[in-house]
Amino acid sequence: MKLKSETLRIYKAVHGWTGLLSGLALFIAFYAGAFTLFKAELDDWLRPAQQQQAVQQSLDELGALLPRLLREQPAAARELRLDLQGEGVQRRASLSWQAAAGGVGGDGDEDDEGEGGAADRRRSAHLDAAGQLQLQTLPAAMPLGRFVDDLHRVVGLPVDNDVCRWLMGVIAALYALALFSGLVLVLPTLAKDFLALRLGKNLKRLWLDAHNAVGVASLPFHLVMAVTAVVFAVHDGLYALQDRWLHQSQLQGRPAVSVAAPPPDLAQMLSPQQLVARAEAEAPGLRIEQLQYQQLLGPRPLLRVWGHDERAVSPRARGGFLALDPYSGRVLNRDFLPGQQGAAALIISSAFALHMASFGGTEVRWMYFLLALAGAWLFYSGNLLWIESRRKRAVAAGEALQTRGSRVMAALSVGVSLGCIAALSGTLLGLKLQVLCLPESALRPAALYYPIFLACLGWSVWRGAARAALPVLRLAVVLSLAIPLLGLCEVVIGLAVFNKAWVVEATVLPIGLALAAMARATARRCSDHGQPSVWSAPVRGG
């Protein structure tokens, strides 16, 4: 297929400008998104080994405890969780509830997962040897995984609200347009040039070949990310309209009209053991991990039985759930139950699963991690290619070698992209040091991330890409490599053991080594003053 030169020029302009407008924001979304695949491991990594945990109890013990707890602590009835461990007769669980009114959603979305600050600490309870009810306040969870997820969802903006999510939707739409126009550009020579890396003195040609190869090879992944990101940006509004006009406000767990009903009889509530047995009968393949009770003393009590089924699509990153009546055991809803969803619910769940890698187990998560990092590089390399193309056009037109637009774009590429890497590594390192040295302090992830990010961005804009790139890269290298070094020191001195949280060190270490190699190459490039590039010494008069 051969396109007219004018058509190719139009598509090239569309691809360049849409990629340029969305590329910097998407770098943050993809780089932070790579780490959101291991949110649970991030939170476990920050949890001290000696931190007080909720007491594990058998399901029979919890069956006797729950009615008594709800009579003495009615606030626990709003949202109470049993986190299960083990199987069969060995199964035990820890009980906890929100001490203050928190952000517990009503639709099974990801908002159910996040604990907030110190005011939202969870409480726990157990019966001692004398049969007395003992209450404890659990340590505040460090919301690192939630913070990284927020960075991903609102492309690094400091506020997670509807406006920022809608902006992300616009960026995702531009991203989809860039993908389509880029595919049109490479289609005529796809068979000949795919995976052809032309080595030689023409560095721009090599980067272009690598950019095209990565883009085409990961095109299905990027199409899924683009389309689902647009849907996620507006789905809350769509759900609200659907709830109001089609379901009479029933989806969010609120009665359409005021209902006067007597409080339920706690003596009639089924025990956790009975409810688990009921859920296993309804969903034989579900590996049950949590019982989430809601509004136990209200007119519409609800139990969500959360778990995973490796054979089916999970509608959320945390799995799926079966909704039961905790008093009668009646099935209320199975729209979010893996393997038993209807066609419409399965389509929506598939969008969530494809975006969040909530299928296929650990192998798929690692594949998505690598694809997300490759996507971040795709946006960074696209900006560099635009800068070099702009320089060549300026030279052909008799203008300065480095136009003001090229210098500004190069500075922003360094500040935003490399600044994001340095800031995220600095946040991980700073929070880990806080947990080890000042466990009672309340420093939040944003208080570390944004000062580092803004400092890198300001430095890059002030000094320019050539002078700022190397210091920012070296900062990112030091902060990244310090994380696995600190983890090794913890193991050596006995403060930690190797566990599933090793994934944090395992992801940051190769990133730090790759940045070190990149710093060496950048140092050589910046010292080559004979090359007419934004990475060389700035030329006056441009």
For residue 156, give its domain range: 1-46+149-232+363-378
Which has more confidence, 142 or 324? 324
Q: Tell me how crowded residue 368 is: count the other CB atoms within 10 A of its CB.
A: 22
Query: Does residue 138 fall inside a structural domain?
Result: no
What are the tens digits of pLDDT across the range 167-217?
A: 888 888 888 888 777 777 766 665 555 555 555 555 566 666 676 777 777
Supply the DSSP symbol for 284. T
Give the Cα separation of 187 and 182 in Å (integer): 9
> Does 306 score more than 90 pLDDT?
yes
Residue 248 above 60 pLDDT?
A: no
Mean pLDDT (whole number) for 487-496: 73
Nearest 10 degrees: CA dihedral of 352, 114, 504, 487? -170
Segment 119-128 mean pLDDT: 76
Nearest by Cα to 329 from 266, 267, 277, 252: 277
State the residue for tokens 């598939």: 350
DSSP state at residue 505: H
Beta strands in 16-68 (DSSP E): 56-58
CB 482 within 8 Å of CB 429: yes
In a domain, 215, yes or no: yes
Q: What is the C-alpha to C-alpha distance for residues 233 and 181, in angstroms, rounded to an integer?
A: 23
Whether 108 has a pLDDT exceeding 50, the answer reads: no
Span 359-363, mean pLDDT? 80
| Residue type at position 353 | A
Classify residue 510: in a domain, yes or no.
no
**pLDDT at residue number 8:** 66
State pLDDT tens for residues 396-421: 666 555 667 777 888 888 899 999 99
Query: What pLDDT, on a 0 to 100 scale, did the predictor assign at position 368?
Result: 92
Task: Say what the pLDDT of residue 246 is.
Answer: 53
- Say what the pLDDT of residue 389 is: 73
The answer to whether residue 225 sits within a structural domain is yes
Question: Dmax over Cα atoms in the chain, in whole Å?
Answer: 90
**Does residue 472 have a pLDDT over 60?**
yes
Tell me which of 295 and 54 has the higher pLDDT.
Answer: 295
pLDDT at 388 over 90: no
- Using only the alpha carbons of the chain, give its radius of gyration: 26
Total number of domains constituting the chain: 1
pLDDT tens-digit profile of 496-511?
Answer: 555 555 778 888 999 9
**Structure confidence at residue 157 as a pLDDT band (50, 70, 90):** confident
Q: Is the alpha carbon torsion for 382, 383, 386, 387 positive or negative?
A: negative
CB atoms within 10 A of CB 222: 24
Establish if 214 belongs to a structural domain. yes
Q: b/e per residue, 187-211, with b = 16+ CB within 10 A? A: eeeeeebeeeeeeeeeeeeebbbeb
In DSSP terms, 127 is beta-bridged to 133
E strands present in 144-215: none
Average pLDDT on 259-273 reads 78
pLDDT of res. 492: 75
- Band (324; pLDDT cuts 50, 70, 90): very high
Overall average pLDDT of the 83-112 stretch:
67
pLDDT tops 80 at residue 453: yes
Q: How far apart are CA 133 and CA 135, in angstroms?
A: 7
Question: Comparing 391 with 175, which gets the higher pLDDT?
Answer: 175
Helices (H), 321-361: 343-356
Q: Is residue 284 part of a domain?
A: no
- Of residues 500, 431, 442, 493, the one with CA closest to residue 144: 431
Residue 292 or 57, more confident:
292
State residue 106's pLDDT score. 39
* pLDDT of the residue at 114: 42
Q: Which residue has the higher pLDDT, 308 or 419?
A: 419
C-alpha angle 39/42/46, rounded to 5°?
145
The residue that leads in pLDDT, 536 or 269, is: 269
Residue 474: Cβ within 10 Å count = 16
Note the pLDDT of residue 80. Answer: 92
Quick: pLDDT tens for 56-87. 888 888 888 898 898 888 888 899 999 998 88
Question: Distance between CA 155 and CA 163 in Å, rounded?
Answer: 12
pLDDT at residue number 116:
41
- pLDDT for 541 equals 42
Whether 251 shows a pLDDT value over 60: the answer reads no
More confident residue, 359 or 539: 359
Please tell me the predicted confidence (pLDDT) of residue 294. Answer: 92
> Rounded to the nearest 5°, which phi and psi values hold at 248?
50, 45
State how far the Cα of 258 lies from the Cα of 314, in Å rounded to an integer.
34
Instruction: Determine, yes or no, domain membership for 154.
Output: yes
Determine the average pLDDT of the residues in 103-117.
42
Question: What is the rounded average pLDDT for all residues in the chain?
Answer: 78
Residue 29 maps to a domain: yes
Q: What is the per-residue pLDDT for 371?
A: 92
